[in-house]
Structure 1
């Protein structure tokens, strides 16, 4: 197996992330093989394993990259000078828009894709995925509490509420597309009112 310079390693890794993302979006985790990925990247199987132990670990790396972009966008939003109601509404609206415009995120939560990923990942990465998701959510909620936007309460419960609202995006077909946007708008309105209620009393 040839030795790579740091630049070559970076180029191969970037190719794996980009081509892997394209294939996962098109075919999903189960139907995308390592052979598909190495063919798209123009590399050998030995080279693939030099970077990732499995296609699931590549998928996980792509997912982390996508989440970092989302967190940057949300972080900028939280810095804006908005009323608590407007800030939370903007948070949910921006999160929904990001999911709508990101086909990889859409794929992650379709057809048991996320469950398949967690099941196939090594335990330490599956645990890391679960912990990081919750921990980052708690950090955001604690920051909102510190600013007085949210009342002091168990941040894990607030994170759970936020996740529940966001998961509605992936049930558009069950809610019914003609009503979906109106349902989401009302749901965000009701949830944000409930979340900030104690700060307004």
Structure 2
């Protein structure tokens, strides 16, 4: 197997992330093979495994990058000077819109995909991301508590509520694609009103 310099390793990793994103968007996770990925980057199939344990791990890392971009945009949005209820309502609507507009996140939210991907990942990767995600969410909530956006309550509970709302996206097909936005709009309004200071 070829030896790569640190610079080459970084270039190959970036190529796999970039080409992986393109191929996953174009063909989907199921129809994209490791052969497709290595061919796109001009590396041997065996070299792929120096970077990722499976195509599912590559997909997961790309999804996390999408989450980071989404979180940055939402963080910028949260700096706006809106009344608390409108701020949380607009935050949740924006988060749902971003998930609906992103073809990779759409795949992630298809029934069974997230669970199947996570089963194929190294356990430490899922654990570490889950811990980081929770810590980031709690820090985000604590910052909003400091701004008097939320009623005094446990940041862990508020973060859990916000996370639970986003997980409802997994049930879009069951609720019905046309009905789902209307249902979510009602839920978001009630949650925003219940969590925030008037």
TM-score, normalised relative to structure 1: 0.87
Following the alignment from structure 1 to structure 2, what is the Cα–Cα distance between the partners of residues 178 and 119?
A: 31
Task: Give secondary structure in 2 for the equivalent of 1:178.
Answer: coil
Q: Verify: 1:3 aligned to 2:4, yes or no.
A: yes
Q: Verify: 1:131 aligned to 2:121, yes or no.
A: no
Following the alignment from structure 1 to structure 2, what is the Cα–Cα distance between the partners of residues 121 and 50?
A: 15
Equivalent position of 1:149 in the other structure: 149
Structure 2 gap ranges (5+):
none
Equivalent position of 1:19 in the other structure: 19
CA RMSD of aligned residues (A): 2.0
> Structure 1 residues 160-169 or 60-69, which shifts more?
160-169
> Structure 1 residues 16-25 or 66-75, which shifts more?
16-25
Pair 180,56 (structure 1): closer, same or farther in 2 beyond 3 Å: closer
Following the alignment from structure 2 to structure 1, what is the Cα–Cα distance between the partners of residues 170 and 65?
A: 20
> Is this contact kept in 1: 2:92–2:188, CA < 8 A?
yes
CA-CA distance at 1:106 after TM superposition: 1.3
Task: State the number of aligned residues.
Answer: 196
CA-CA distance at 1:59 after TM superposition: 2.0
Counterparts of 1:89-104 in structure 2 under 5 Å? 89-104=89-104
> Is this contact kept in 2: 1:141–1:155, CA < 8 A?
yes
CA-CA distance at 1:10 after TM superposition: 3.6
Structure 1 gap ranges (5+):
none
CA-CA distance at 1:31 after TM superposition: 4.8
Deviations 1:42-92 (A, max 9, x none): 221233223223323322321221111011101101111111011101100
Following the alignment from structure 2 to structure 1, what is the Cα–Cα distance between the partners of residues 172 and 58?
A: 28
Equivalent position of 1:119 in the other structure: 119
Following the alignment from structure 1 to structure 2, what is the Cα–Cα distance between the partners of residues 192 and 112?
A: 29
Counterparts of 1:147-186 in structure 2 under 5 Å? 147-186=147-186
More helix by share: 1
CA-CA distance at 1:150 after TM superposition: 0.5
Following the alignment from structure 2 to structure 1, what is the Cα–Cα distance between the partners of residues 172 and 121?
A: 28
Following the alignment from structure 1 to structure 2, what is the Cα–Cα distance between the partners of residues 154 and 5?
A: 44
Following the alignment from structure 2 to structure 1, what is the Cα–Cα distance between the partners of residues 113 and 173?
A: 17
